[in-house]
Amino acid sequence: MKREKGLLIVLSGPAGVGKGTVCGALRKQDTAIEYSVSATTRKPRAGEEHGVNYFFKSREEFKEMIQNDALLEWAEYVGNFYGTPIDYVRETIDAGRDIILEIEVQGAQKVRKAFPEGVFIFLAPPSLKELRDRIVGRGTETEDIINERMHVAKEEIDLMRMYDYVVENDEVELAVERIKAIVTAEHCRRERLKYQELVEVKK
Amino acid sequence: MKREKGLLIVLSGPAGVGKGTVCGALRKQDTAIEYSVSATTRKPRAGEEHGVNYFFKSREEFKEMIQNDALLEWAEYVGNFYGTPIDYVRETIDAGRDIILEIEVQGAQKVRKAFPEGVFIFLAPPSLKELRDRIVGRGTETEDIINERMHVAKEEIDLMRMYDYVVENDEVELAVERIKAIVTAEHCRRERLKYQELVEVKK
């Protein structure tokens, strides 16, 4: 029973929920999952490497990628463009390897349209209250900004309905174990398997 | 985010694939999964305990259970009745605990009708050829019996289409790990979660 393609795994969730932390912890483990590298127009920070942390692009290069449909999804955030180059994603899953994308919920919706067969995981706070606590906990925001963020978070949580899985980020290690279990389980999903060869009995 | 109910997990597959071995290996592990005990009219074998291995019933008692809809599924096999008492299954999942049923494919179809929300796992041989080798390997069967069994196995594998997952029983330990991953993943499935409480923001 061979698989034709690898899994496209999309890890998303509201801002502040800990997507980066969970994805970072997953990367430290010895899994066969590949990680998508985003393209961005923002300047590299100290220690960031082109092709590892990001593909650093000029605005002109980025706009060209948009026009050439070279991006699976993209968004502008705080004046900079961020996007997922489609080539590496396609090459990886076509080679039968799994790839994970850690992206914002708006981007995840676009990816869902292009890859309905993807595995969409929503990383959720244990409760909105806790999300609020985390946002407030940064201690640097005014009440107005906190309320605005809560409003955005509520909208993002409404988007949960388009996801296949909801993983609570109560503890990073638990969230990582759940994501690994989802990947294992998805490889066993009947509709992903080529089982025709099993049914064809040799006479 | 609370779950209302536990999962009903059905482990099934063709005769000779190793359902009992895999389920036994799973039971030895420290999981929170409960195990359904079947009712049967066959006589207890040495060491078998009522309520542990089986609920041992007379034919009259068994027929009464059938008439009272007390069985989730039942079948006659080599002159004896076997069935799954529905009460313990319902009580367990209503209490929020997971329960696993190890049953034949015909029984699994009946359970699917009663519990469409169940998690249906088909335990498959790595290939039909290997299933054939295992059947032949017993060394006690005539060619006709082997061919008949292969025919039955082919039909059972056709039934795979009604399952949610196909777990290859290439190695018992690997099959057990896959089943555990499926249970973890199913608990994260979005449609199983009560996330309304997350969406209701307190003003």
Measured CA to CA, the distance from residue B150 to residue B129 in angstroms comes to 9
Task: Give the CATH number for residue B191.
Answer: 3.40.50.300
B190 and A165 within 8 Å at the Cβ level: the answer is yes
Measured CA to CA, the distance from residue B97 to residue A178 in angstroms comes to 18
DSSP secondary structure letter of residue B50: B
Confirm or deny that A15 is annotated as ligand binding. yes
Domain that holds residue A187: 8-39+97-199
Q: Each residue of B53-96: pLDDT tens digit?
A: 899 999 999 999 999 999 999 988 889 999 999 999 999 999 99
Measured CA to CA, the distance from residue A174 to residue A59 in angstroms comes to 39
Confidence band, pLDDT 50/70/90 cuts, at residue A194: low
Domain count, chain B: 1
In a domain, B75, yes or no: yes
In a domain, B171, yes or no: yes
**Could you tell me if A71 and A57 are in contact, meaning their C-beta atoms sit under 8 angstroms apart?**
no
Which A positions 162-191 lie with beta carbon below 8 A of chain B? Answer: 163-168, 177-178, 180-182, 184-186, 188-190
Q: Each residue of A45-58: pLDDT tens digit?
A: 899 999 888 999 99
Q: Does ipTM surpass 0.95 in this model?
A: no
Please give the structure tokens belonging to residue A102. Answer: 């850690």
Phi and psi of A64, rounded to 5°?
A: -65, -40
Mutate to test the interface with A, among B31, B166, B178 (most CBs of A within 10 A): B166
- List CB contacts (< 8 A) between B149 and chain A: none
pLDDT at residue A182 above 70? Answer: yes
In a domain, B163, yes or no: yes
Please give the structure tokens belonging to residue B3. Answer: 């779950």
pLDDT, mean of residues A169-179: 95
B93 closest CA partner among B70, B117, B66, B73: B117
In a domain, B138, yes or no: yes
In a domain, A45, yes or no: no
Write down the pLDDT at residue A137: 65
Confirm or deny that B14 is annotated as ligand binding. yes
In a domain, A79, yes or no: no
Measured CA to CA, the distance from residue B180 to residue B27 in angstroms comes to 11
If you measure CA to CA, which chain B residue comes closest to A196? Answer: B158
A111 closest CA partner among A131, A83, A130: A83
In a domain, B53, yes or no: yes
Burial class (CB in 10 A: 0-12, 13-18, 19+), A194: exposed
**Could you tell me if A65 and A39 are in contact, meaning their C-beta atoms sit under 8 angstroms apart?**
yes
In a domain, A76, yes or no: no
Confirm or deny that B175 is annotated as ligand binding. no
Q: Each residue of A53-110: pLDDT tens digit?
A: 899 999 999 999 999 999 999 988 889 999 999 999 999 999 999 999 999 888 898 9
Pairing between β-strand A38-40 and β-strand A80-85 as defined by DSSP bridges: antiparallel
